[in-house]
Structure 1
Amino acid sequence: MTKLFVGGLRPDVSEMDLAMLIGLYCNIETIKVVRDRVTHKCKGYAFVETLKVDDAQKVISFLNGESFKGNTLTIKISVEEAPKPSKFPKKYIAKKPER
């Protein structure tokens, strides 16, 4: 699967809004609109997963830089970051008791 970052979204955007827009260019596996925990408004970005890299590239070529509900979209392939190492040396991290 290929994960796309979709930025430049309005606070009132819904998953259905994105599905109707992006679904014109590819088959969507998942959509995750990132929302504020208190207000439940979109934080301005979402992640969309497609099965094929070609579909993701098609979405980028057609929609990156285009206007959607008055905002300019930024769409790119999301690169997963490696987990950051712990700040503490291993000798200071508590171990689970053995049974």
Structure 2
Amino acid sequence: MVKIFIGGLPDNIQEMDLAILVSLHGRVETIKVVRDRATGKCKGYAFLEIYSLPDAKNIVSTLNGETFRGNVITVKISEEESGAKAAKPKPTPNANQTFKSKRPRLQR
């Protein structure tokens, strides 16, 4: 699965509207519209999981910069999926390494 980001969405967007727009260009697995907890309005962006990388690339190339309900939308492959931000491996302690211990808290 490939995660894509869609930004510039109107605040009254529904998941079904987004599914209809995107599914014309590729197979959509999941849709997560990010909403404000208090009002329930869309914060202007959503994340979608797309079945395959070719579908995701087709969606990005077709929809990026297009107008949807009066807003110009930005569509891109999410950085965590594209490998742009690879996680750094955590160092493993060796027998030769020494670690500082934490200072005890002062009691008042």
The question of a shared fold, defined as TM-score above 0.5 by the shorter chain, is answered with yes
SS at match of 2:58: helix
How is 1:87-98 mapped onto 2 (pairs within 5 angstroms)? Answer: 91=102
Q: Match of 2:106?
A: none
| Larger relative contact order (Cα-Cα within 8 Å, sequence gap ≥ 6) | 1
How is 1:2-17 mapped onto 2 (pairs within 5 angstroms)? Answer: 2-17=2-17
Q: Does 1:22 pair with 2:22?
A: yes
Ranges of 4+ aligned residues in structure 1 off by more than 3 Å:
89-92
Q: Match of 2:42?
A: 42
Q: Match of 1:66?
A: 66
5+ residue gaps, structure 2: 88-99, 104-108
Larger radius of gyration: 2
State, as a whole percentage, how many aligned pairs show the same letter. Answer: 56
With structure 1 as the length reference, what TM-score do the two structures score? 0.81
With structure 2 as the length reference, what TM-score do the two structures score? 0.75
Task: State the 1:79 CA deviation.
Answer: 1.6
Post-superposition Cα deviations, 1:8-65, rounded to whole Å, max 9, x if no partner, equal: 0000001001000001011100000000000000000000111100000000111000
